[in-house]
């Protein structure tokens, strides 16, 4: 193509030298061509911008629909929190979420006012949202139980709204794809048009260059300048392409972080996208533990020439010391991190993951060449790290709030609210699997007298130590709760009555052996009374099971404390079962012996 243009230009030059009268005509022709090209480019650019406006309009509709989903989710979560822990803040959150939902619905209605079909869908969606929010609001005012949240009517209304929003979004996605294709076609058309006109313009410039041979030197300089501009343009286009790809990756990272439900998932997502940020790299994501003394690997990728240790101290990383990005290149001076198993890599970067005033871990990336750490990629790493740190901080805060709602602040055990929510589930599981469920209710003997003698601080120490003892004495699947005051309750799923009695006796003996001190003084002998209740195949309700355990505990108190008693009601119930089934079972035989 270039050879053809040059040959044509030479022929035109020869003709122009033979007839100099063509020179003014050539200039007029070039001017007319420039005006036509400028006008055509303006028209096509205006069409391209118009198509982009439609694409942006569809993106705005999808954004508002996502905001409606988020607002409804926040309203449902506020309702659930209010049922679990009634607080005014939850009511305010519910009201604010509802207000935002209606604000977004109104915005969608405004954006789709030119589409009658979508207007009908929005009106129907308004009716369904009104019904769901009204039901949630009525439940808040009447303070109904958590079971209403899972009622068929509630689930139906929620699913109906969710399906309607999703269907609306699917339609918008189809429209968006169509408009994107149209915009792409416009862009390709503009590109072809510009290419043709640039080619024509280049040909005219060649003709003028041949006609004014005496200005060849200046023209060569102009060509060099044009070549330099083209190189700069290609570099700019490449940079724009890189930035576009970076923005796409960051948007994907942010979207995937938003759907993470716990910190390990967020760490895995960050590790996966860090590998995309720096291709052919290796690295790991570290999380700092609650003691703030150690960090462990949560996600890793690639095969580094000098892999990092799996467990390290925060002081081993220069990024953690300085609180900012630490970048090391070949022959660079300064400190190097100490968290490598072998020699220190020549090229690596460490970024602290910090948000809300707290450092949660580090992101480490090593590469085989410094060229991989471009300014654009480093900026993308920092922005991605900020997204991940903020999401991790939010997940940690949510987990902390959840723990505060179900755990006793003094002992760290589950509280009574959690027990009531899980005991019924364990009984249902016992019924389905035909297993036994044991309950041990423990009470510290003469604890009021102990507090009066040694003080409440010493009493708190005793409660913490006994709580720790109970947690060490049970299995992972067992549940230990602080039932109230100095009372504790241990739930033992998938257990036999004999194993429950043995476990209770072991706990009692371990408490007797405790030797506690406070302020340099021995606190004396500590004992506890324990009562046992038991249900086979989930035949008892939670209230009856707890009442039998309370009866057994009072029996232990009546016997003089520091002993373990089995509920007489449980014994009678097992005796009735034995009478119905004369064939002795190991369980009934042991009850008869006791």
The enclosing domain of 301 has a CATH number of: 3.30.450.40
Q: CA nearest 366: which of 230, 453, 275, 462?
A: 275
What are the beta bridge partners of residue 284?
Answer: 300, 364
In a domain, 220, yes or no: no
Q: How confident is the model at residue 12 (pLDDT cuts 50, 70, 90)?
A: very low
Q: Whole-angstrom Cα distance, residue 560 to residue 265?
A: 53
- My answer on whether 348 and 429 are in the same domain is no
Output the CA–CA distances (angstroms, integers) from residue 90 to 74, 144, 219, in the order listed: 10, 15, 74
pLDDT score for 594? 42
In a domain, 96, yes or no: yes
Q: Which domain holds residue 120?
A: 34-186
Which residue, of 137, 168, 186, is where some domain finishes? 186
pLDDT score for 338? 83
Q: How confident is the model at residue 459 (pLDDT cuts 50, 70, 90)?
A: confident
Tokens of 536: 């086979």
- My answer on whether 110 and 155 are in the same domain is yes
Taken in order 579, 580, 585, 591, the sign of the CA dihedral is negative
- My answer on whether 147 and 277 are in the same domain is no
Q: Whole-angstrom Cα distance, residue 430 to residue 157?
A: 33
- My answer on whether 272 and 383 are in the same domain is yes
Q: Could you please report the per-residue DSSP string of 455-523?
A: -HHHHHHHHHHHHHHHHHTS-TT-EEEEEETTEEEEEESS--HHHHHHHHHHHHHHHHT---EETTEE-
pLDDT tens, 216-249? 677 678 778 877 878 787 777 776 776 677 788 8
Which residue, of 141, 163, 186, is where some domain finishes? 186
pLDDT tens, 148-192? 555 676 677 777 777 777 777 787 788 878 877 877 777 777 777
Q: Whole-angstrom Cα distance, residue 448 to residue 431?
A: 39
In a domain, 110, yes or no: yes
Tokens of 204: 């005219």
pLDDT tens, 37-80? 667 666 767 766 766 777 787 888 788 888 887 888 887 787 77
pLDDT over threshold 50, residue 351: yes
- My answer on whether 460 and 589 are in the same domain is yes
In a domain, 236, yes or no: no
pLDDT score for 29? 66
- My answer on whether 423 and 504 are in the same domain is yes
Q: Could you please report the per-residue DSSP string of 62-105?
A: HHHHHHHHHHHHHHHHHHHHHHHS--HHHHHHHHHHHHHHHHHH
Output the CA–CA distances (angstroms, integers) from residue 403 to 73, 292, 399, 474, in the order listed: 21, 20, 6, 20
- My answer on whether 397 and 476 are in the same domain is no
Q: Could you please report the per-residue DSSP string of 241-304?
A: HHHHHHHHHHHHHHHHHHT--SHHHHHHHHHHHHHHHSTT-EEEEEEE-TTSS-EEEEEEES--
Q: Whole-angstrom Cα distance, residue 180 to residue 195?
A: 22
pLDDT over threshold 80, residue 426: yes
In a domain, 256, yes or no: no
Contacts of 131 (CB under 8 A, 6+ apart): 157
**Rounded average pLDDT over 253-271:** 87
Tokens of 97: 């979420």
pLDDT over threshold 80, residue 504: yes
pLDDT score for 502? 94
Q: Whole-angstrom Cα distance, residue 466 to residue 459?
A: 11
Q: How confident is the model at residue 499 (pLDDT cuts 50, 70, 90)?
A: very high
What are the beta bridge partners of residue 484?
Answer: 487
pLDDT score for 166? 79
pLDDT score for 91? 80
Where b means 16+ CB within 10 Å and e means fewer, 144-171 reads: eeeebbeeeebeebbebbeebbeebbee
Where b means 16+ CB within 10 Å and e means fewer, 532-553 reads: bbbbbebebebeebbebbbbbb
Q: How confident is the model at residue 592 (pLDDT cuts 50, 70, 90)?
A: very low
Contacts of 59 (CB under 8 A, 6+ apart): 176
Output the CA–CA distances (angstroms, integers) from residue 327 to 146, 367, 375, in the order listed: 52, 12, 12
**Rounded average pLDDT over 202-225:** 70
pLDDT tens, 112-157? 788 788 788 888 888 888 877 877 777 766 655 444 555 676 677 7
Q: Domain with 39 in it: what CATH number? A: 1.20.120.1730
Taken in order 184, 188, 189, 193, the sign of the CA dihedral is positive
- My answer on whether 517 and 376 are in the same domain is no
Q: Domain with 510 in it: what CATH number? A: 3.30.70.270
Q: Would you give the DSSP letter of residue 564?
A: E
Q: Whole-angstrom Cα distance, residue 99 to residue 302?
A: 47
- My answer on whether 167 and 85 are in the same domain is yes
Number of domains the chain contains: 3
pLDDT over threshold 50, residue 2: no
Q: Is residue 167 within a helix (H) or strand (E), and if so which, with residue range?
A: helix 152-211
Which residue, of 186, 207, 229, is where some domain finishes? 186
In a domain, 455, yes or no: yes
- My answer on whether 168 and 71 are in the same domain is yes
Where b means 16+ CB within 10 Å and e means fewer, 363-397 reads: bbbbbeeeebbeeebbebbebbbebbbbbbbbbbe
**Rounded average pLDDT over 474-489:** 90
- My answer on whether 382 and 443 are in the same domain is no
- My answer on whether 455 and 574 are in the same domain is yes
pLDDT score for 472? 92
**Rounded average pLDDT over 315-327:** 86
Q: In this structure, what are the phi and psi dihedrals at residue 373, rounded to the nearest 5 degrees?
A: -95, 70
- Reduced to 3 states (helix: H, G, I; strand: E, B; else coil), residue 347 is coil
In a domain, 285, yes or no: yes
**Rounded average pLDDT over 444-450:** 87
pLDDT tens, 523-581? 888 999 999 999 988 888 899 999 999 999 999 999 999 999 998 888 888 777 767 76
pLDDT tens, 377-424? 888 888 888 888 888 888 888 877 766 677 888 888 888 888 888 888
Q: What would you measure as the largest C-alpha separation in the chain, in angstroms?
A: 131
In a domain, 504, yes or no: yes
pLDDT score for 184? 79
Where b means 16+ CB within 10 Å and e means fewer, 471-483 reads: eebbeeebbbbbb
């Amino acid at each position: 193509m270039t050879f053809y243009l040059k040959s044509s230009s030479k022929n035109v030059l020869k003709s122009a030298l033979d007839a100099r009268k063509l020179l003014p005509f050539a200039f007029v022709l070039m001017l007319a061509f420039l005006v036509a090209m400028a006008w055509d480019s303006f028209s096509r650019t205006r069409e391209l911008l118009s198509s982009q406006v439609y694409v942006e309009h569809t993106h705005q509709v999808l954004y508002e629909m996502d905001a409606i989903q988020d607002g409804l989710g926040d309203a449902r979560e506020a309702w659930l929190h209010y049922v679990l822990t009634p607080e005014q803040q939850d009511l305010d959150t519910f009201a604010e979420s509802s207000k935002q939902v209606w604000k977004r619905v109104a915005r969608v209605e405004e954006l789709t006012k030119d589409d009658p079909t979508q207007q009908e869908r929005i009106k129907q969606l308004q009716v369904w949202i009104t019904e769901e929010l009204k039901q949630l609001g009525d439940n808040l005012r009447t303070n109904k139980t958590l079971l209403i949240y899972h009622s068929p009517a509630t689930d139906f209304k929620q699913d109906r709204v969710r399906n309607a929003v999703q269907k609306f979004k699917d339609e918008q996605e189809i429209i968006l794809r169509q408009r994107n294709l149209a915009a792409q076609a416009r862009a390709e058309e503009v590109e072809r048009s510009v290419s043709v006109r640039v080619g024509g313009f280049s040909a005219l410039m060649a003709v003028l260059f041949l006609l004014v041979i005496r200005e060849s030197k200046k023209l060569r300089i102009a060509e060099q300048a044009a070549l330099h501009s083209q190189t700069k343009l290609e570099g700019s286009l490449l940079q724009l392409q890189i930035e576009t790809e970076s923005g796409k990756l960051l948007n994907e990272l942010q979207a995937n972080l938003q759907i993470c439900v716990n910190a390990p998932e967020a760490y895995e997502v960050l590790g996966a996208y860090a590998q995309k940020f720096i291709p052919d790299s290796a690295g790991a994501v570290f999380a700092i533990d609650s003691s703030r003394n150690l960090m462990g690997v949560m996600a890793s990728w690639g095969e580094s020439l000098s892999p990092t240790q799996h467990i390290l101290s925060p002081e081993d990383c220069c990024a953690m010391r300085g609180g900012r990005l630490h970048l090391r290149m070949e022959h660079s001076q300064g400190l190097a991190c100490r968290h490598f198993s072998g020699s220190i890599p020549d090229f690596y970067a460490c970024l602290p993951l910090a948000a809300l005033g707290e450092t949660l871990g580090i992101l480490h990336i090593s590469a085989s060449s410094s060229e991989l750490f471009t300014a654009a990629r480093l900026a993308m790493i920092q922005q991605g790290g900020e997204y991940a740190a903020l999401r991790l901080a939010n997940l940690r805060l949510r987990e902390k709030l959840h723990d505060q709602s179900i755990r006793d602040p003094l002992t760290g055990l589950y509280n009574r609210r959690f027990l009531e929510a899980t005991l019924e589930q364990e009984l249902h599981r016992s019924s389905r699997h035909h297993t036994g469920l044991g309950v041990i209710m423990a009470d510290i003997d003469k604890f009021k007298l102990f507090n009066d003698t040694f003080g409440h601080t010493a009493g708190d120490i005793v409660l913490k130590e006994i709580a720790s003892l109970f947690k060490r004495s049970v299995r992972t699947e067992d549940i230990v709760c602080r039932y109230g005051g100095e009372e504790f309750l241990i739930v033992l799923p998938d257990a036999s009555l004999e194993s429950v009695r043995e476990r209770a006796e072991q706990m009692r003996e371990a408490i007797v052996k405790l030797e506690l001190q406070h302020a340099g003084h021995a606190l004396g002998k500590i004992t506890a009374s324990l009562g046992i209740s038991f249900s086979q195949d989930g035949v008892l309700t939670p209230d009856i099971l707890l009442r039998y355990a309370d009866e057994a505990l009072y029996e232990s108190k009546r016997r003089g404390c520091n002993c373990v008693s089995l509920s007489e009601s449980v014994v009678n119930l097992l005796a009735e079962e034995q009478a119905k089934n004369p064939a002795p079972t190991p369980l009934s035989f042991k009850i008869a012996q006791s």
